[in-house]
Amino acid sequence: MKIKQIEVYQSPIKLKEPFIISLSRHEYAENVIVVIRTNEGLVGFGECCPFKSINGEGMESAFEVGKYLAQHLINKNPLDIATCSTIMDTVIYGNSSIKSAFDIALYDIASQNAQLPLYAFLKGNNHKKIITDYTVSISDADKMASDAQKIVASGFQCIKVKLGGNKEQDIERIQKIREAVGYEIPLRIDANQGWKAEEALDILKALSPFKIQHCEEPIPRWDFMKLPKIKKESPIEIMADESCCDHHDAERLINLNACHQINVKLGKSSGIFKALKIIQLAEAANIKMQVGGFLESRLAFTASAHLALSSNNIIHFDFDSPLMLKEDHVVDGIKYTAKGEIIMPDKIGLGASVGEKYLEGLKKVAVG
């Protein structure tokens, strides 16, 4: 089997409300779709959402790099994912987001060829209940409390709260959220590197009474050598996110004993191929994981859901982004219940695609 043609599309989608974290503000999901066609008629779909503030890519730059990757993957064997991954890394360093879109499309083809759902191709099974949290963006405390109330009223069973301000701001935010929703619903927090290392422990200790499940990336990613001390002394479990992109990062953090948990995202790891290496390392160290994402549509999050079924150590799921988009162009793929439970597609391969009519309206490049 050979890759006959690759198409790369820019797919910007307006958000229902601005998505705001300590690093950046977003009004659009600036996504890129990759379609890989083989000489045997199999077609694979992939998608990414480049984040300038996290992986240094934007929709336009990912689109341009996608051209380079496509030119080097034409006529290659799509079933040899290891070689295709090496080729992409040889073509250009980094650019993990756009590489993940190619990777997902390759796994779609490989699992279709094997006549298996992707989760089964990854040696997983569909016996796990996947329930997503829903995220409260950074704002003033009253708005965040109001947003949290709406999330509870909508039926979601867990709330993720974006933080990363000063101690007084973030304590007020969590205090008002707890006053609004009570203490029964689980809360998770994500500072997105927003706290200085010398203040992070003080803030984490102050937030401890509010019954927080875990905290993602409390300090700047480059300051990871200070994470072991924070992990040791924090009353709230620490989850590595931006400091853990690929398996090399995971190995470093595990050896440093720097985190309780790891957040795996396909857009950080360059896709499933390297994400599986992170998972293998985490399992060996008995570290629990979350699978999350950026602002991708249900297309990429369907791939993330398949990945989440591949390991019992993956216990948290941050799959709310597609619900934040004003439009849904995905055919099949994961579905959401009223309580945030994920229903997997009952198809071979990825089980998600994008209609030709939607693709026709997008800026594209075709190679091959």
pLDDT digits (tens, 9 = 90+) for 311-347: 999 999 999 999 999 999 999 999 999 899 999 998 9
311 CB-near residues (< 8 Å, 6+ apart): 124, 279, 282, 283, 289
Residue 251: active-site member: no
Q: For the whole model, what pTM was predicted?
A: 0.97
Q: Which long-range contacts (CB under 8 A, 24 or more apart) does 79-84 make?
A: 79/1, 79/109, 79/110, 79/113, 81/106, 81/107, 81/110, 81/273, 82/273
Residues 314 and 228 in one domain: yes
Residues 154 and 76 in one domain: no
What total of structural domains would you count in the chain?
2
Residue 241: active-site member: yes
Residue 265: active-site member: yes
Q: List the catalytic residue out of 133, 217, 241, 249.
A: 241
Q: List the catalytic residue out of 47, 216, 217, 318.
A: 216
Residues 153 and 284 in one domain: yes
Residues 154 and 210 in one domain: yes
Residues 89 and 142 in one domain: no
Determine the pLDDT at residue 288: 98
Residue 147: active-site member: no
Residues 294 and 360 in one domain: no
Residues 32 and 173 in one domain: no
Which domain range does residue 32 map to?
3-115+355-367
Residues 161 and 288 in one domain: yes
CATH of the domain at 180: 3.20.20.120
CATH of the domain at 36: 3.30.390.10
Residues 144 and 284 in one domain: yes
Residues 152 and 9 in one domain: no
pLDDT, tens only, 114-137? 999 999 999 999 999 999 999 999
Residues 64 and 91 in one domain: yes
pLDDT, tens only, 61-105? 999 999 999 999 999 999 999 999 999 999 999 999 999 999 999
Calpha distance 3→159 (Å, rounded): 42
Residue 242: active-site member: no
Q: Give every residue of the chain whose pLDDT is below 50, as ranges.
A: none
Determine the pLDDT at residue 209: 97
